[in-house]
Amino acid sequence: MKKLSLVIYLLLLVALIVAPFAGAYPVFVMKLMCFALFASAFNLLLGYTGLLSFGHAAFLGGSAYVAGQVMKVWGLTPELGLIAGTLTGALLGWLFGVLAIRRQGIYFAMITLALAQMMFFVALQAKFTGGEDGLQGVPRGRLFGLLDLQNDLTMYYVALAIVVAAFLLIVRTIHSPFGQVLKGIKENEARALSLGYDVSRFKLLAFVISAALSGLAGSLKTLVLGFATLSDVHWTASGQVILMTLVGGLGTLSGPLVGSAVVVLLENKIGEFGNLLARITTIDWFNTLGESVTMVTGLIFVICVLAFRRGIMGEIIAFVERQRGPRA
């Protein structure tokens, strides 16, 4: 199973490397990779630690604004903007965690949501964020003074390298002794506590790591697109990452990648798909499908909850394991 997973990841990496030469729009693929990193960071918290946060948009959006401010207003280099955004995510994660980590279940989720909403109103009122207009015109600049990121192809491979490195960090974290403790806390927190582990400290550290990686995703998104908006810090972004994780497969490494691809493609390509269905079926209603993205996304979520409780990749992995069981 591990060898098969490794082969699949290598094929995915090769596909991403050749994607710009196969007709894929680099900026769109980079946006997809940013959300894939965001979902993977959230999955580290929910899928492997069992903490449901409704406030992860604060880390994505807050870091996006800070990175944009550093690169546009302060005139610093892209690498410093990414570092500043990642550290902002870690700092916000520590602050949120200190306030919320000793609560459990719905109480923990509601505290993170309340704190994230406070961040949203700060972003709405603060002058440096641009309010409803957002922070626009963020320059890409030159990475380390050498690589011109204004070139989409150069920016694409830099973004790919960053996302792959962050994903490998998540994989290493999950398979480390620290990751095994997190899994133990998720499965039976009382037993982990009885074995002498400082459960609150482990959960706080997991929260900070997840927030920092979410901050990296937000900073990279600002660098790629050249702007940060209120939608990045709105509560709907938190709901979106939960949807990505659940649709793809909670507690699986590949699940957030698949889930983010499904959700982002739906949001951006549902109109084209509806027009295609209208031409094939001659039903004019499909032409309005692009105006009902939320409804279609909600329908897919309902279907996944009812028919694919483990998510897309979770069900595929379970099916493969069932087939291998009798042979073993």
Max mean pLDDT range (46-50, 84-88, 262-266): 84-88
- Tokens 């990749």 — which residue? 313
Burial class (CB in 10 A: 0-12, 13-18, 19+), 125: exposed
Name the band, by pLDDT with cuts 50, 70 and 90, for residue 273.
low
Selected from 1.10.260, 1.10.3470, 1.20.120, 1.20.1630, the CATH number assigned to the domain covering 25-327 reads: 1.10.3470
Q: Which of 95-109, 114-128, 172-186, 309-323 has the lowest mean pLDDT?
A: 309-323
Judged against a pLDDT cut of 80, whether residue 185 lies above it is answered with yes
Name the band, by pLDDT with cuts 50, 70 and 90, for residue 275.
low
Over residues 286-308, mean pLDDT: 69
pLDDT for res 217: 95
Name the band, by pLDDT with cuts 50, 70 and 90, for residue 287.
low
% of residues, the chain, pLDDT over 90: 38
Residue with more model confidence, 322 or 158: 158
Name the band, by pLDDT with cuts 50, 70 and 90, for residue 277.
low
Judged against a pLDDT cut of 60, whether residue 327 lies above it is answered with no
Q: Is the dihedral of CA 183, 186, 187, 190 positive or negative?
A: positive
On average, the pLDDT of the chain sits at: 85
* Of residues 20, 64, 85, 9, the one with CA closest to residue 225: 64
Judged against a pLDDT cut of 70, whether residue 56 lies above it is answered with yes
Residue with more model confidence, 291 or 242: 242
Name the band, by pLDDT with cuts 50, 70 and 90, for residue 293.
low
Structure tokens given for 73:
């207003």
Residue with more model confidence, 152 or 283: 152
Name the band, by pLDDT with cuts 50, 70 and 90, for residue 270.
low
Judged against a pLDDT cut of 80, whether residue 191 lies above it is answered with yes
pLDDT for res 292: 65
pLDDT for res 5: 73
CB atoms within 10 A of CB 133: 10
pLDDT for res 262: 85
0.75 exceeded by pTM: yes
Residue with more model confidence, 319 or 160: 160
